[in-house]
Amino acid sequence: MNLYHYSSEPIRDLIDKLADLNIEIRLTPNLHPLKEAILNSTLDDFGMHRFHLARPLHRKTN
């Protein structure tokens, strides 16, 4: 497998191409509930790469 990046090109109709490959895409506006659910589950081997780039969780205060 080649791990080197040689060039970048825009991909037109990316969603359609992914759908043609049966790739499921899920979007969420907030990753924090997912992270908490995983941390409180029985999963013991997972990664959330680049989670540090997610927006900070703003908790409501009274």
pLDDT digit string (tens) for 28-55?
888 899 899 999 999 988 888 888 888 8
Residue 51 lies in a domain: no
Residue 49 lies in a domain: no
Which of these, 27, 26, 39, 36, lies nearest to 57 by C-alpha position?
36
Residue 32 lies in a domain: yes
What is the domain count for the chain?
1
Q: Compute the mean pLDDT over every residue in the chain, rounded to the nearest whole number.
A: 85
Residue 23 lies in a domain: yes
Contact 46, 38 (CB under 8 A): yes
Residue 56 lies in a domain: no
Residue 34 lies in a domain: yes
Residue 18 lies in a domain: yes
Q: What is the pTM of this model?
A: 0.49
Give the Cα separation of 41 and 49 in Å (integer).
Answer: 18
Domain interval for residue 23: 12-38
